[in-house]
Amino acid sequence: MAKSDFFQNAKRIVEQAIGEQMDGSPLSGNRTTALQADRLKPAPPKDRLAVELGRRGGIKGGKARAEKLSAEKLSKIGKKGATARWHSAKPKP
């Protein structure tokens, strides 16, 4: 098998990235067109009511949860979080 030229590989990669050949003509092959088709699909529309309900729950969620917890349970959760943040499981080299 012949060794390919560095510049030929670079040209091929650029052509795949932009989706067309350097002279402006489209690339042949199904893979490139399938990738482009996936990028052009619009995102499914979101239900505005569901979005608003989720937002409302997120806004009040942390505060409401903290009010329901006992001081002991809240302290336990805080200590667990601090331990996870400051104590690494992996020893540093």
List per-block mean pLDDT (blocks of 10 residues) for the chain, which spans 93 residues: 80 85 76 61 83 83 86 93 84 62
pTM (two decimals): 0.33
Provide the pLDDT for residue 76.
Answer: 95
Burial class (CB in 10 A: 0-12, 13-18, 19+), 25: exposed
d(CA 33, CA 19): 8
SS3 state at 25: coil
Provide the pLDDT for residue 38.
Answer: 65
d(CA 78, CA 32): 50
